[in-house]
């Protein structure tokens, strides 16, 4: 599903080859004594899907705001589409598309009118406006609803219209700030299809923030950000691999015999609380041979591949789910909401 574009070693924070869409060096943002973003470095290649993953208040939105020229960096520098975000703010804005967390459509206008408004605001040449509107509506499959007032749209449709609008002026980079918050899983999947199509057909760089693990999976590379710093940056697969190998958990009739048998066959095995844990390269392929190798009856087998949740837990010592929603104390939530 995720097509990894051919590029240099993705584990490098700064990409050294290929066109660069976003380049960030030592970016820092302080609000008074508190540093919302601390000395962040990374770069994103043209056509890449890049995810900022972290809990609310981690500095995702602040970073995106600086890249979109909506907030001034305290120090450090960043270029977007080749333009400095401070000295060439207007040029940056012309070359980026923005989809905010909250809806920013005029629901008393039709989809087409919203798009036309945007096209004029972003200086799309007159002759290109109509074809471009038709094109982006087609990309998000809203062509037949173009004459309808946005007030009649569902949340998912409105979100897709916003993505279409963000693409209208052929930006180099499309910023999506928590694009799927409040959407049901089906709509989210649909939206992701749209986004991937945009990337493939228009070659746009997608820069998104999210606190949904499963969503970050769509990205070519993920930066995990916590307390204003990037604590890990790599492809989803590499991040998972860095947490540890796949494992197969076994419960057998005779763990001692099984342990000895597996060790003899060269497996890395460890006694766990209720059985054995075998470390393997690929859990799916390993289950069969392991069960054969133990030589004693097997009661249960559980294969496990690290998820991004494990990755987050590994790097931060916390689960990301604790960081948002109901589990968060009232004060912290209000604080996070203001920051976002």
How far apart are CB 144 and other proteins at their closest, in Å? 21
Window 62-121: residues binding other proteins (CB under 8 A): 68, 70, 79, 81-83, 88, 90-91, 93-95, 98, 100, 102-109, 113, 116-118, 120-121
Q: Which of 39, 122, 134, 324 binds other proteins (CB under 8 A)?
A: 122
Query: Is 215 exposed, middle or buried, given 0-12, 13-18 or 19+ CB atoms closer than 10 A?
Result: buried
Interface with other proteins includes 19 (CB under 8 A)?
yes
Q: Please spell the DSSP secondary structure of 135-200, one letter per residue.
A: HHHHHTT-GGGTTSBGGGS-HHHHHHHHHHHHHTT--SEEEEESTTTT--HHHHHHHHHHHHHHHH
Question: If we measure between CA atoms, which residue out of 15, 100, 23 comes closest to residue 65?
Answer: 100
Interface with other proteins includes 157 (CB under 8 A)?
no
Choice between 104 and 257, CB closer to other proteins: 104
Question: If we measure between CA atoms, which residue out of 177, 200, 229, 145 comes closest to residue 51?
Answer: 177
Interatomic CA distance for residues 161 and 140, integer angstroms: 7
How far apart are CB 79 and other proteins at their closest, in Å? 5
Instruction: Count CB neighbours of 50 within 10 A.
Output: 22
How far apart are CB 116 and other proteins at their closest, in Å? 7
Q: Which of 1, 33, 34, 123 binds other proteins (CB under 8 A)?
A: 123
Question: If we measure between CA atoms, which residue out of 27, 46, 37 comes closest to residue 85?
Answer: 27
Interatomic CA distance for residues 137 and 151, integer angstroms: 17
Choice between 98 and 208, CB closer to other proteins: 98
Contact 168, 111 (CB under 8 A): no
Contact 313, 45 (CB under 8 A): no
Task: Name the β-bridge partners of 246.
Answer: 280
How far apart are CB 47 and other proteins at their closest, in Å? 10
Interface with other proteins includes 21 (CB under 8 A)?
yes
How far apart are CB 216 and other proteins at their closest, in Å? 24
Site string for other proteins, 160-189 (x = CB under 8 A): ----------x-x-----------------
Choice between 114 and 247, CB closer to other proteins: 114
Question: If we measure between CA atoms, which residue out of 166, 85, 157 comes closest to residue 124?
Answer: 166
Q: Which residue has the tokens 């007030």?
A: 151
Q: How many residues bind other proteins (CB under 8 A)?
A: 43
Interface with other proteins includes 131 (CB under 8 A)?
no
Choice between 20 and 164, CB closer to other proteins: 20
Window 31-60: residues binding other proteins (CB under 8 A): 43, 46
Interatomic CA distance for residues 203 and 220, integer angstroms: 14
Q: Which of 3, 4, 17, 268 binds other proteins (CB under 8 A)?
A: 17
Interface with other proteins includes 202 (CB under 8 A)?
no
List strands edge to edge, sheet with 229-234.
Answer: 96-99, 173-177, 205-210, 49-53, 221-226, 229-234
- List residues binding other proteins (CB under 8 A): 14-17, 19-21, 23, 43, 46, 68, 70, 79, 81-83, 88, 90-91, 93-95, 98, 100, 102-109, 113, 116-118, 120-123, 126, 170, 172
């Amino acid at each position: 599903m995720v097509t990894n574009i051919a590029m240099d070693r993705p584990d490098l924070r700064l990409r050294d080859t290929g066109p660069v869409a976003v380049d960030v060096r030592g970016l820092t943002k302080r609000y008074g004594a508190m540093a919302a973003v601390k000395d962040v470095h990374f770069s994103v290649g043209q056509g890449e899907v890049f995810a900022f993953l972290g809990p609310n208040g981690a500095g995702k939105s602040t970073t995106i705001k600086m890249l979109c020229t909506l907030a001034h960096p305290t120090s450090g520098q960043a270029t977007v589409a080749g333009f400095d975000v401070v000295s060439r703010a207007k040029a940056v804005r012309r070359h980026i598309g923005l989809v905010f967390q909250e809806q920013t459509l005029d629901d008393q206008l039709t989809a087409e009118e919203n798009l036309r408004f945007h096209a004029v605001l972003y200086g799309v040449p007159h002759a290109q406006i109509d074809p471009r509107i038709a094109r982006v509506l087609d990309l998000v499959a809203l062509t037949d609803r173009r004459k309808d007032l946005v007030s009649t749209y569902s949340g998912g449709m409105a979100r897709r219209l916003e993505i279409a609008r963000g693409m209208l002026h052929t930006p180099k980079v499309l910023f999506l700030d928590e694009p799927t918050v409040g959407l049901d899983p089906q709509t989210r999947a649909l939206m992701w299809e749209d986004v991937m199509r945009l990337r493939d057909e228009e070659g746009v760089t997608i820069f998104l923030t999210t606190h949904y693990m499963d969503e970050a999976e769509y990205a070519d590379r993920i930066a995990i950000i916590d307390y204003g710093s990037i604590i890990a940056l790599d492809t989803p697969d590499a991040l998972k691999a860095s947490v540890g190998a796949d494992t197969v958990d076994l419960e057998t009739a005779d763990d001692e015999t099984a342990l000895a048998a597996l060790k003899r066959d060269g497996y890395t095995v460890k006694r766990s609380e209720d059985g054995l844990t075998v470390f393997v390269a690929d859990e799916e392929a390993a289950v069969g041979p392991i069960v054969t190798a133990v030589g004693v009856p097997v009661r249960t087998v559980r294969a496990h591949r690290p998820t991004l949740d494990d990755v987050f837990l590994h790097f931060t010592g916390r689960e990301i789910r604790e960081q948002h929603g109901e589990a968060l104390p009232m004060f912290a939530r209000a604080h996070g909401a203001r920051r976002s």
